[in-house]
Amino acid sequence: MNIKQNHSLKKYNTFNIEAKADYFVELSSEADVFSLINSDILKNNEILIIGGGCNILFVNDFKGLVVKVANKGIEKIKEDKENVYLRVAAGEDWDSFVKYCVNNNYYGAENLSLIPGCVGSCVVQNIGAYGVELKNVFYELTAYDIFSGDKTVFDKQKCEFGYRKSIFKNKTFSKYLIFSVVFKLSKKQNFVLDYGNIKQEIEKLSGSKLNVKILRDVVCKIRNSKLPDITQIGSAGSFFKNPFVSFDKFFEIKKKYPEIVAYKIKDNLYKLSAAWMVDKCGWKGKRFGDAGVYEKQALVIVNYGNATGKEIYNLSKEIQKSVFEKFNIQLQPEVIII
Ligand SMILES: Cc1cc2nc3c(=O)[nH]c(=O)nc-3n(C[C@H](O)[C@H](O)[C@H](O)COP(=O)(O)OP(=O)(O)OC[C@H]3O[C@@H](n4cnc5c(N)ncnc54)[C@H](O)[C@@H]3O)c2cc1C
């Protein structure tokens, strides 16, 4: 275990923000985790655990220790007639895992193709796309309490999954280090096709019989057409969460804007498209220096080059303000602001 001091975080966050951590360590094995747990550095420092840094905005330097989880590996631990159970290291790249499932005809994760980040953090965020959330394929995980060293297994219920959140995002932020995750994939096809423009894209492939590889390709194609390539443009994906409102609030907006994009979740609960609201406020494609709103997706704030964390943050505040003024709705960031 090699603890570095005054370490640049620029290559550890996909916004490409220049920020420094007082201390930085990368953990690749269980032995590294134990070395950290037994070291004095935890006693006197604030801790931030990271994976790929795809959902973090550094507004300031981090006064403490950044712990990057970088263990790797995918292992089949059991299977029965219906399902296969895979243990995946928390530092494994999420999309490499999805690709592994698709190549082996293990079903359930394909709609979550191409989401950047590591497996452990994808659990923290309960990532979702095209009608599927990570919790749909989650079985259990193993985490270490980095202060006591206790090892705990969390099943689905204990994780308290919600919309882009889990117990690890709320109550236990940087207390538990997720070390490995067990996923339960199906051996039978049961595709979710009703969300976004998946069906329309599949219809264009007339003649081909749908299979999991085709579905992954379709999801990747749609995502590539809408989202920035993070190797070229800094971003953390959707900056804000979609807000949930009552029927009355939905109806009030719909009266004024009949074209509103919203989804009925249940009676008296509607999910509004934050992207539509931000777009309606005129932000799509706006640029201020190197900070801007992506021209193809209004929910994505981007760093075109050398924007600072503060510039990105200030832009997000302006967007929040204008959405509030127009719709009387307070958007909440999905991105973790440090
Ligand atoms: C272009 C783009 C597109 C995106 N599209 C989507 C999308 O479609 N759907 C979606 O849901 N998200 C999306 N995201 C957001 C992002 O990919 C996810 O939130 C992903 O889970 C972040 O993974 P990460 O490893 O980079 O997490 P990080 O940003 O490194 O960390 C996220 C959180 O997890 C915690 N954490 C990280 N590792 C651990 C660990 N091992 N143990 C405990 N806590 C940990 C961190 O402290 C932090 O709170 C997108 C992002 C980008 C840049």
The pLDDT tens digits of the residues spanning 133-148 come to: 999 999 999 999 998 9
CA 318/CA 10 separation, integer angstroms: 25
Ligand 1 pocket test target in 47, 110, 115 with most atoms within 8 Å of CB: 115
Given a cut of 90, whether residue 241 has pLDDT beyond it is yes
CA 279/CA 307 separation, integer angstroms: 22
Tens of pLDDT, residue by residue over 254-305, are: 999 999 999 999 999 999 999 999 999 999 999 999 999 999 999 999 999 9
Predicted local confidence at residue 206, as pLDDT: 66
Atom in ligand 1 nearest the alpha carbon of residue 129: 8
Instruction: Tell me the H-state helices in 151-196.
Output: 156-159
Given a cut of 90, whether residue 194 has pLDDT beyond it is no
pLDDT confidence of 186, banded at 50, 70, 90?
Answer: very high
Predicted local confidence at residue 329, as pLDDT: 96
Predicted local confidence at residue 44, as pLDDT: 84
What is the CATH code of the structural domain delimited by 234-337? 3.90.78.10
Q: Buried b vs exposed e over 238-275: b needs ≥16 C-beta within 10 Å?
A: bbbbbbebeeebbeebeeeeeebebeeeeeeebbbbbb
Atom in ligand 1 nearest the alpha carbon of residue 54: 26
* Structure letter (DSSP) for residue 313: H
- Strands (DSSP E) contained in the chain are 4-8, 20-27, 46-50, 56-57, 62-69, 74-79, 83-89, 128-129, 132-133, 138-145, 151-155, 176-186, 234-238, 244-245, 262-266, 269-272, 287-288, 291-293, 300-303, 336-337
* Fold (CATH) for 4-69: 3.30.43
Portion of the chain with pLDDT greater than 90, in percent: 88
Domain-wise residue ranges, the chain:
4-69, 74-186, 234-337
The model carries a pTM of 0.94
Atom in ligand 1 nearest the alpha carbon of residue 164: 11
Predicted local confidence at residue 174, as pLDDT: 77
Residue type, 36: L
Predicted local confidence at residue 172, as pLDDT: 60
The residues, any chain, with a CB within 8 Å of residue 80's CB and separated by 6 or more, are none
Predicted local confidence at residue 47, as pLDDT: 93
Which segment of 59-68, 71-80, 149-158, 191-200 scores lowest on mean pLDDT?
Answer: 191-200
Portion of the chain with pLDDT greater than 70, in percent: 99
User: Measured in angstroms, how far is the CA atom of residue 94 from the centroid of ligand 1?
Assistant: 10
Tens of pLDDT, residue by residue over 324-333, are: 999 999 999 9
Predicted local confidence at residue 319, as pLDDT: 98
Predicted local confidence at residue 207, as pLDDT: 67
Predicted local confidence at residue 170, as pLDDT: 72
CA 41/CA 129 separation, integer angstroms: 38
Tens of pLDDT, residue by residue over 56-74, are: 999 999 999 999 999 999 9
Mean pLDDT of the chain: 95
Q: Which residues line ligand 1 (CB under 6 A)?
A: 14, 48-56, 69, 90, 115-118, 120-122, 124-125, 127-129, 164, 168-169, 174, 176-178, 227-228, 230, 235-237, 336
User: Measured in angstroms, how far is the CA atom of residue 115 from the centroid of ligand 1?
Assistant: 9
Give the mean model confidence (pLDDT) for residues 35-58.
93
CA 204/CA 193 separation, integer angstroms: 14
The residues, any chain, with a CB within 8 Å of residue 91's CB and separated by 6 or more, are 27, 28, 51, 68, 69, 70, 71, 72, 118, 119, 120
The domain defined by 74-186 carries CATH number 3.30.465.10: yes
Tens of pLDDT, residue by residue over 169-185, are: 876 677 899 999 999 99
Predicted local confidence at residue 271, as pLDDT: 94
User: Measured in angstroms, how far is the CA atom of residue 103 from the centroid of ligand 1?
Assistant: 24
Which residues carry out catalysis? 164, 238, 334
CA 290/CA 307 separation, integer angstroms: 5
pLDDT confidence of 204, banded at 50, 70, 90?
Answer: confident
Predicted local confidence at residue 173, as pLDDT: 74
Atom in ligand 1 nearest the alpha carbon of residue 118: 25
